[in-house]
Amino acid sequence: MTYCVGMRLNAGLVFLADSRTNAGVDQVGTFRKLSVFENPGDRMMVLMTAGNLSISQAIRQVVSTYISPEGATIWNATNMYDAARIVGDAVRAVHRQEAAQLAEYGVDFNVSLIFGGQIAGERCRLFYVYSAGNFIESHDENPYFQIGEAKYGKPILDRVVTPHTTLDDAAKCALISMDSTLRSNISVGLPLDLLVYEDGALAVTRFVSIDEQNQYFSQLRNSWGQQLKAVFEGIDAPVWNAAPGATENVLSSANGGNRPVRIALPPGMIAAEPTAPVQSLAEGPASTAQH
């Protein structure tokens, strides 16, 4: 599996991808999933892939050499939308070549891609390309895309990333998002490829491959875990069955009528007597209130 995230910000673009691929617990490999298409001064584009590795590698190769009937290529497309269409055409070309044979062996045509960058004369743009070759574009309402194991790293992105986020903060947020995924899913793993692109540069501005020895990423992982725990411990415990009028930390009120759905006992079974009174946080351990 994999996890990749791409962000489109006012200041530029951020891309982060892991490099783990596995076909079972004893078949784990490292394959880089972030590729750069760059002609300095004219265009800088990034493609990240998730899904079947043989499919994604074939798509990457086709993208680099594809020529449309009109003569358009990834290298001469006049805007990022046309470049994204070329990526979609490459996906469909590989599907025509491989899908039927894969289906004979019970293998789905499974791939998703994040494609983004900048071509001289227009702003930075970011696209999510589906396995059918169609795509959507990122806008201010949704400034990032994820592919692969997206769920673990999504909450921090939703809370932090906006179009106004700085590139350094976005890179930090992407790394925290990746750390959450690494901790929760063994199918995602180091090393990581992180690319940060400044709007208007038309060339890669910052890139790093991150392994277990990377000082900043190790510091970030430790600091994030410690500070999360500290914040958690600093939040007050809830008050159960609070007295009427209480307004602090109230999870339930004494007069709130909170009752679970209880299943009736089978016919003939006698209900046992409670061994201890039900206690609430509001009443404290010495309470003898009957419920």
pLDDT of the residue at 287: 45
pLDDT of the residue at 286: 46
pLDDT of the residue at 28: 62
pLDDT in tens, the chain (291 residues): 799 999 999 999 999 999 987 645 555 668 899 999 999 999 999 999 999 999 999 999 999 999 999 999 999 999 999 999 999 999 999 999 999 999 999 999 999 999 999 999 999 999 999 999 999 999 999 999 999 999 999 999 999 999 999 999 999 999 999 999 999 998 898 999 999 999 999 999 999 999 999 999 999 999 999 999 999 999 999 999 999 889 999 999 988 788 899 899 999 998 888 766 555 455 555 444 444
* Block residue for tokens 């300095």: 40
Residues 6 or more apart whose CB falls under 8 angstroms from that of 58 comprise 94, 97, 98
Residues 6 or more apart whose CB falls under 8 angstroms from that of 244 comprise 253, 254, 255
pLDDT of the residue at 21: 72
User: Domain 3-212 has what CATH class?
Assistant: alpha beta
The burial class, CB within 10 Å (0-12 / 13-18 / 19+), for 116 is buried
Respond yes or no on whether the N-terminal peptide bond of residue 191 is cis (omega within 30° of 0).
yes
> How many angstroms separate the CA atoms of 3 and 150, rounded?
6
> How many angstroms separate the CA atoms of 121 and 81, rounded?
13
Which among 214, 209, 170 has a CA at the least distance from the CA of 14?
A: 170
Helices 215-234/167-184 angle, 10° precision:
80
The CA-atom distances, in angstroms, between 260 and each of 239, 267, 287, 288 are 18, 21, 22, 21
Other Cβ atoms within 10 Å of 225 Cβ, number: 12
Domain extent listing, the chain: 3-212
Q: Structure tokens of 69?
A: 């009937």
